[in-house]
Amino acid sequence: MLTSSLERVGLTGVSVTSIGASVWPGWDRWLAGMWEPGTWPRNFLRAFREGTLDYFTVTAERPAV
């Protein structure tokens, strides 16, 4: 997992925050202008709602030398 890898290389304060609820609805509205419902790009929002896809911010700190 990404967080384990960051910690293994010495980063601290690793934090993962889901921001999918703020990303996918707007992304789907934008895609609606180019893609029909049921096409692959229009499945991102459904996948998020079903729990198979999300969007995250990941932060970590580099310890002082």
pLDDT tens over the chain, length 65 residues: 899 999 999 999 999 999 999 999 999 999 999 999 889 899 999 999 999 999 999 999 999 88
* Nearest residue to 9 (alpha-carbon basis) of 57, 65, 64, 62: 62
Cα–Cα distances in angstroms (integers) from residue 43 to residues 25, 26, 34, 37, 50, in the given order: 11, 13, 13, 8, 10
pTM, rounded to two decimals? 0.76
Beta bridge partners of 12: 61
* Nearest residue to 29 (alpha-carbon basis) of 50, 51, 45, 48: 45
